[in-house]
Amino acid sequence: MRFDYNRMKSTGSSQSTSSQHQDDFCDYLKAALQNALKLTTGDYGDYAVTTSSQGVTVVPYYPVDRPIDYSFYTDIYKVLVVAAYPYYTVLKPSGLQLVPIKSDLYQRRRGLFFPWLKGVPKRRVLSPDKYAEDIARAVSSKSMQIPLMESFSMDLEHTTHIAISGQSGSGKSYLVRYFLPYLLSMGDLTLIDPKADDLLLWAKSDQCTAIRRNTGRTPNVEYPDLLGKSGTFLSEVSETLSREVHIMYQREDTYSKTGKRPFGHRFIVIDELLALTQGGQKVDVNNFFANLSSLALLGRSAKMHLILISQRFSSDAMPTSIRDQLQAVFQLGPITKTSTQFLFPDFDSEGVIPPRGKGTGICQVQGDVIPYPRPFLSPTYTDE
């Protein structure tokens, strides 16, 4: 069977023509699977392929000549993810997805489901004017949406805590700087940057609240003395978080008495989380994680958000109890079993083909219509 790729590009076709194209695509995917995996054909041991807007289903006709397990599921995925490209982006769930099939035959009542997205993910490319317009629109509309890619946004009304991970140079700071104007338009913003580098420079230019040594919060950034004792800066950060925890408890008290939440959102951005605690005095490290845990566990009802950035989120960078509270996670750079083990502990990266380029990887956002990790491309800018 020969598949006509050009027919998939046609638009304005009749319903019957569209159905024919879909049948052709199913036949094409079945042929790709049979050739790559040497699947049996015939009355028994055969396979059918069906598609919908949500994904593709491979239906084995029992009896089959191999176990239907996650290993076989992964083998099918590795064929489909390439064969369906660029018409669809096939996503990989954390486990085998078995769905019931309507049939009068016992042998054909179950199928292996693979979710997909139509087309390929597209990066947002913004001019300075377009970016400024987006921020102005967010301010005027009081929107809690941050556009992430074309046709994909993150709603901070329902997403409380965010983590961004990736090796040095993967684009973490670049992505955070894209977030900052949106966050500032939505509420109060506190920035903590142990490097006294990218984020604090942005804060100074935008008069954003940041840490000031010995006097807490101020709209004028002053850089901490990073040449002093290793625990000094961490102690200052912990004091800042302690004040945020106090505000959180005040808000909870207000809600318990009135049943209302008459307060705005507060965002706490912490860069280089792993470096922040390394070498710190034990009492400062314990106080820091105690305050961070309180904000992670109780912050949602008080509209308190954490945005955490680190090269990795291992247990020495962040306790598991905090990781469990994350609603949006971004892994930038190479997608491997090692790189995804902390933010995507159940995700099997075998066969996954992430997008190319800087600031790319995978992400998963709570409330997304697709409850699986999806390919991600950070927004970027043009000079025009």
Q: pLDDT by residue (tens digit) across 255-287?
A: 999 999 999 999 999 988 888 888 778 888 999
Residue with tokens 């569209």: 18
**Alpha-helical runs (H) found in the chain:** 5-9, 15-37, 70-83, 128-141, 172-186, 198-205, 230-258, 273-277, 282-298, 320-323, 337-340
- pLDDT at 227 > cutoff 50: no
- How many residues are present in the chain? 384
- In eight-state DSSP terms, residue 351 is T
Q: How far apart are CA 138 and CA 132, in angstroms?
A: 10
Answer yes or no: are the C-beta atoms of 79 and 34 closer than 8 Å: no
Q: How far apart are CA 226 and CA 232, in angstroms?
A: 8
Please state the rounded mean pLDDT for residues 189-195: 84
Give the tens place of pLDDT for each residue, 30-63.
999 999 988 765 545 588 999 999 999 999 998 8
CA end-to-end span of the chain, whole Å?
A: 48
pLDDT of residue 280: 79
Coil vs helix vs strand at 107: helix
How many CB atoms lie under 10 A from the CB of residue 359? 21
The DSSP-derived string for 8-48 is HH--S--HHHHHHHHHHHHHHHHHHHHHHH----SSSS-EE
Q: What is the pTM of this model?
A: 0.87
Please state the rounded mean pLDDT for residues 75-93: 95
pLDDT of residue 183: 93
- pLDDT at 125 > cutoff 90: yes
User: CA–CA distance from 6 to each of 3, 11, 15, 176 (Å)?
Assistant: 9, 11, 17, 40
Per-residue confidence band for 223, with pLDDT thresholds at 50, 70 and 90: very low
Letter for the amino acid at 250?
Answer: Q
Letter for the amino acid at 76?
Answer: I
pLDDT of residue 282: 87
pLDDT of residue 207: 55
Please state the rounded mean pLDDT for residues 329-347: 93
Give the tens place of pLDDT for each residue, 65-80.
888 999 999 999 999 9
- In eight-state DSSP terms, residue 354 is P
pLDDT of residue 369: 82
Q: How far apart are CA 26 and CA 58, in angstroms?
A: 10
- pLDDT at 228 > cutoff 50: no
CA 319, 324, 328, 329: dihedral to nearest 10 degrees? 50
Please state the rounded mean pLDDT for residues 168-175: 90
The three-state (H, E, C) secondary structure of 286-336, written as one string: HHHHHHHHHHHHHCCCCCEEEEEEECCCCCCCCCHHHHCCCCEEEEECCCC
How many CB atoms lie under 10 A from the CB of residue 295? 24
Q: How far apart are CA 1 and CA 76, in angstroms?
A: 20
Answer yes or no: are the C-beta atoms of 190 and 269 closer than 8 Å: yes
- pLDDT at 8 > cutoff 60: no
Contacts of 259 (CB under 8 A, 6+ apart): none
pLDDT of residue 58: 96
pLDDT of residue 203: 65
- pLDDT at 211 > cutoff 70: no
